[in-house]
Structure 1
Amino acid sequence: MFEVLDRVALAELSDEALISAVATMTQTEARAAAQRLALIGEVVARQCDDEDDDRAHQVIDGWAWAQAAVSAACNLNSHAASKQMRIAQALRDRLPRTAGLFASGAVSATVIDAITWRTHLVDDADALGLIDTAIAAEAGEYGAHSEKQLIGAVDLWVEKFDPDAVVRSRRAAKDLYVEFDDKDDPNGVASFWGRLRVTDTKILEQRLNALADTVCPNDPRRRGELRAAALAALGVVGPALERLACECGDVTCEGSGKDPRAGAVAIYALTDHSPAAGEVAPRHTRPGAAGTPDSESAATGAAPENEEQTPAAESEPAGPSEPAAPAAHTESAASSEPAEPAASSEPAAPVAGAQPAACNPSPGVMLDGAIIPAAMLAELVAGGAKVQPLAEIAALPAEPRYRPSTALTAFVRMRAMTCSFPGCSRAAHRCDLDHLTPWPAGATHPGNLGPLCRLHHLLKTFAGWTPTAQPDGTIHWSAPTGHTYSKAPGAAILFPHWNIQTPIPRKRAISLLNDTDRDTKMPVRQRTRAQDRAQRIKAERARNQLELALERAESDSDPPF
């Protein structure tokens, strides 16, 4: 019809033709989305239908295999891929009439998302058929509804044919819960909310008020801010916390001093240079020196140098890396401007290769991608945050054992920032640190290490996904289907001036032992994924039944006036 990016051609369209094109493209978009979900549904069916009991009990079952394929193909994280798979499954197996309407382009993907979710608790086939028929007859009008109206329109039919399957408020369905982060949170802060037992709430409230009362009258913060600071400090110090750091600015104030919250933060500053692929770290160096295998060995779980490491066969994923001292991972931040810590009232340790700060200092970036504004970063440093220069790449040669040193671990995680699997956004400090070429054939070297979340670590080990590292930190993945995908390190995007180039060490000619019985080592689950889902639906329906019974009882007890 016309080239949609050709602004000259678009400008020549009449108003009528332009609006007609918008309507046509809207329907085309819906049809394309329906086709995409139909394809995803086929992927799920091939892997999950007729799945035998042994495979269904494996951690990497058919669903996990399909999830990885969809995640990589669509560049989605695991949760988003699973959501798409559930929608596709519902359209394929539960709501065929609604699926047909979607395929015609009459409804949008947003409407389909709401329909499949609001009907997911229906477990009676006859009721589901009636609901599907009713919704398909009127879903073409749903696009004009607000979100609340859309939910009400779908729930009307669910309420009519299967009242126990109406999705109650997720918040109300949970007796006790705590949730974190809202998509609308501004940089530097995060929302959290929840519900506690009334007695626990009173205990917490009294504790926070008591700590808020320990600051002097000249502290400029309001009551709510003081309670927020007290709650955060409790998370760092624990029950031993006796008073809150005062911010009155008077050095003679009894409450003045370092804020324990800042002390739980590690700010990593970036440095440069590149190691040789075959270079091995010296075995006799000063204990604790940055870049040596025994640097902070107690924090990483690494054994002393004179102890032989005997890791599990590389066919078994390593256990989750032990957390470093709390400061290393609770709020790790990477900064692209090593000179920023100079804002501290106490000078930070000198950083090799540091460049003068720009006019506007750069913010910090947490490993999960959250932004720490520059002003807040300076406050953290002034308050006692640990400033830890990342080891220069030249100081990170191959290490002669399985577990990487603290310095090497920090570099690899800061470079990747997230899981190295395509589409996965799990923060690197919550991932296993994996030898991409299994050790001992693959060296413990920055060019052969990458963070992988437990799911994708298992997929690499058992499901035929093969990674290949590149000097710039990018990892190319070869899927069992023959497709290839790439995942660039987060630092390459956020800190383009940081030198993360490293040569890739050669694979050593060492045969791996016990590599023939991988299938027997696959972790298994006590209940299959289908059994877990059925149990959750059963439990939620039971809660709905109880709520309905209570509502009827209250209604029957109302006085007649």
Structure 2
Amino acid sequence: MGNFAHMFDGSLPEVIDLSALDDAALVDAAAGWARTENAACARKLAVMAELFTRRTGLSAGEREDWWVDPEAAVGAELAAAQNVSTWMALAQAHRGVVLADRLPQVAALFEAGLISEPLVRAIEYRTLLVTDAEAIKQVDALLADQVMTWGPLSVRKTEQAIDAIVAWVDPGALRRSREMTCQRDVRFGSPSDEAGYTSMWALLSAADSEVVKQRVEQMARSVCEDDPRTLGERRSEALTAISAGIQQLACQCENTDCQAAQRDATPPATAVIHVVAEAATVDAARAEAAGLATRADAEPDIHDGASDGDELPSAKEPEVDDPVPAAGPTRLSERAALPPAFCPALPAFCPAPAAAASCSTRPAFVLGGGVLPTQLLAPLLERATVREIRHPGDAPPEPRYTPSRALADFVRCRDLTCRWPGCDKPADGCDLDHTVPYPIGRTHASNLKCYCRFHHLLKTFYCGVGGWREQQLPDGTLILTSPTGHTYTTKPGSVLLFPTLCRPTGTLWAPGHEPTVNPKNNRGLMMPKRKRIRAEKLARRIDAERRLNDEYVAERNKPPPF
């Protein structure tokens, strides 16, 4: 790979005046930088693979059955350095190891920038089942010899070209469509999602997909033709209703004789959503909902994007003085004006407003879902349990390990997510971790933060000399020092939306003088264990997938009929 000593001197190539280039020069520049990008990615994977190999060597063998094993630990270390998830970093490290150990000739092309990272991913995936050392060496040589002759191919044609080489060398290593059973999944969220909405992607079997499709369509079309929602909106609400255990979709028409409008669409208490919002935002949402209902009653025949006559659920009376409606509320879109078929009961955590309130309300925040505009908060308030979150100020530490409900709510609303770099696990699914372990570190807002279970275990069992170290500031800022001495600073998730929650909560000790706690020598006994180590799971998976090809290999190996 060459010498990395002078790779990162803090400088990058100057950006030239692109307007001075003709079209051909721009295409040449794009191709040149693409090759540079490929080469840089190859070098990144190589250094990740080297660190992975060091961290998971023979000395790590006794921890292979740990739930947070050495592979996961090095994945977290590399993830923090890149600000990506642990699982993405671990996949990259695995790819680097495959290139170094199984596909060195393909790796050489990658290092030269001649092939792209997506192509390398495809090669890694489609050669996984080749287990014989001589066979993988032959596959590597054939790929390196032929891949540059393929030219531009579609994804499917690229897979077919790789499979042709694998089938020539080791027909039992072909990846079959039946493997998709293991890849079924449902995922939520995309960077392109609009505020207040989350996309969903699912990979189902064809039969299961048809079942879901028919049920959603049946429910979406079960209302009368006067329902003001589009078919797409009804499909969306039908899927949510089904997930909540509701069997019918209530019609939102105003016809008194509509049977579908009289259906009970109240969900059972099977799910809880946590929403963080300033008190002013909750007041504005209630006022906006009340104003919408009033306008709908007064002008039932005007279609301005809101439903004509639908009344939003009336909000419960707040425990504080009657709110003053915010000046100039934003008019609701049709989608936002219609109350959803499913509004789960949810605690809406409301931090106390600042002394000098802003002239415009801030959006709410759904733990695990992201920003929620005020108009989408309104329909959720009817069945919401509202609890005010109070900043603890200079309150003394609590005299026990488990924080009180008030303190726990404050910390979760301040942090919003797991505080580990690159992790976005919602705070309501996280542990509350003492930065300085209890009882030396007291139960106090300045010593508590949210960690998901994985990162909580990582901090607990990979700490001390040669491990991770932490420092928490009174405003919730967390400074992590990695085993290599690199530092990563994370701010509480509320710093942008709810900055009042990030006011200092009191100083427990002078900065830089935090007490240290030496981990116990036998702490590994408390680590949850894996049923099977990673190597065993991978071997079983490869063996199972290879057996799918037994019939094909037997047919291929039959002697010719002469």
Q: How far off is 1:24 after superposition?
A: 3.9
Question: Is the Cα–Cα contact under 8 Å of residues 233 and 260 in structure 1 kept in the other structure?
Answer: no
* Percentage of pairs with the same residue: 33
Residues in 2 aligned to 1:545 and 1:373: alpha-carbon distance in whole angstroms: 56
Equivalence for 1:99:
107
User: 2-side partners of 1:203 and 1:179: how far apart?
Assistant: 13
Alignment check: 8 A CA contact 1:181 1:192 kept: yes
The equivalent residue for 1:332 is 274
Rounded to whole Å, the distance in 2 between the matches of 1:54 and 1:443 is: 33
Q: For the residues of structure 2 that align with 1:123 and 1:476, how far apart are their CA atoms?
A: 43
Aligned partners of 2:390 and 2:410 also within 8 Å: yes
SS at match of 1:353: coil
Residue matched to 1:291: none
Count of aligned residue pairs for this structure pair: 478
1:373 Cα deviation from its structure 2 partner: 4.4
- 1:403 and 1:494 map into 2 onto residues whose CA distance is 27
- Secondary structure in 2 matching 1:174: helix
Q: Which has the higher contact order (CA 8 A, sep 6+)?
A: 1
218-227 or 101-110, which deviates more: 218-227
CA distance in structure 1 between the aligned counterparts of 2:407 and 2:122, rounded to whole angstroms: 46
Residue 133 of structure 1: how far off its partner (Å): 1.0
1:193 matched to which residue of 2?
202
Distance 2:187 2:159 in 1: 24
Q: What's the RMSD between the two structures over aligned residues?
A: 4.1
Q: 1:13 to 1:253 in 2, by over 3 A?
A: closer
Query: Could you report, residue by residue, the CA deviation over 1:497-522 in whole angstroms, capped at 9, with x for unpaired residues?
Result: 65443334239999989944213333
Cα distance 1:24–1:199, how it changes in 2: closer, same or farther (>3 A)?
Answer: closer
Aligned AA (2:506): P
Partner of 1:456: 455
The CA distance in 1 between the partners of 2:250 and 2:96, in whole Å, is 53
Query: Residues 260 and 466 from structure 1, CA distance in 2 versus in 1: closer, same or farther, beyond 3 angstroms?
Result: farther
- Aligned residues of 1:341 and 1:347 also touching (Cα < 8 A): no
| Aligned equivalents of 1:339, 1:99: Cα separation in 2 | 59
The alpha-carbon distance between structure 1 residues 545 and 173, as it changes in their structure 2 partners (threshold 3 A), is farther
* TM-score, L = length of structure 2: 0.72
Counterparts of 1:153 and 1:176 in 2: how far apart (Å)?
22
Amino acid at match of 2:469: T
Query: Measured at CA, do residues 203 and 26 of structure 1 come closer, stay the same or move farther in structure 2, by a change above 3 Å?
Result: closer
Is the 8 Å Cα contact of residues 247 and 256 (structure 1) preserved in structure 2? no
What is the alpha-carbon distance in structure 2 between the residues aligned to residue 199 and residue 369 of structure 1? 26
Q: Deviations over 1:245-277 (max 9, x none)?
A: 44225689775698546x97xxxxxxxxxxxxx
Taking a change above 3 Å as real, the CA distance of residues 203 and 523 of structure 1, as seen in their structure-2 partners, is closer
Instruction: Return the offset for 1:531.
Output: 0.8
Q: Is the 8 A contact 2:472 2:478 kept in 1?
A: yes
Q: Where does the alignment leave 5 or more consecutive residues of structure 2 unmatched? A: 1-10, 291-313, 321-349, 557-562
List alignment gaps of at least 5 residues for structure 1: 265-324, 553-561
Of residues 520, 538, 549, the one that matches 2:525 is 520
- Normalising by structure 1, we get a TM-score of 0.72
Out of 49, 61, 69, which is 2:57 matched to? 49
CA distance in 1, matches of 2:45, 2:505: 40
Distance of 2:55 and 2:97 partners within structure 1: 12
For residues 111 and 209 of structure 1, the distance between their equivalents in structure 2, rounded to whole angstroms, comes to 42
Q: CA 1:399–1:100 in 2, change beyond 3 Å: closer, same or farther?
A: same
Deviations 1:196-250 (A, max 9, x none): 796997699569847975x6664334667556534423433x4xx5654442256
| Shift in Å, 1:94 | 0.7
State the secondary structure of the residue aligned to 2:489.
strand
- The residue type paired with residue 417 of structure 1 is L
Matches within 5 A, 1:393-472: 393-394=392-393, 398-464=397-463, 465-472=468-475
CA shift for structure 1 position 485: 1.5
Distance in 2 (alpha carbons) for counterparts of 1:110 and 1:175: 21
Change over 3 Å in CA distance of 1:501–1:459 after alignment to 2? same
Matched to 1:446, the amino acid is: A
Structure 1's 503 and 551: CA in aligned 2 closer, same or farther, altered over 3 A?
farther
Is residue 378 of structure 1 aligned with residue 378 of structure 2?
yes
**Which residue identity does 1:334 align to in structure 2?**
V
The answer to whether the Cα contact below 8 Å between 2:492 and 2:502 also exists between their aligned partners in 1 is no
Confirm or deny: 8 A CA contact 2:393 2:506 kept in the other structure.
Answer: no
Query: Distance in 1 between the 2:432 and 2:443 partners?
Result: 10
Q: SS state of the match for residue 468, structure 1?
A: strand
**Do the aligned partners of 1:474 and 1:488 also contact (CA within 8 Å) in 2?**
yes
Tell whether 2:495 aligns with 1:488: no
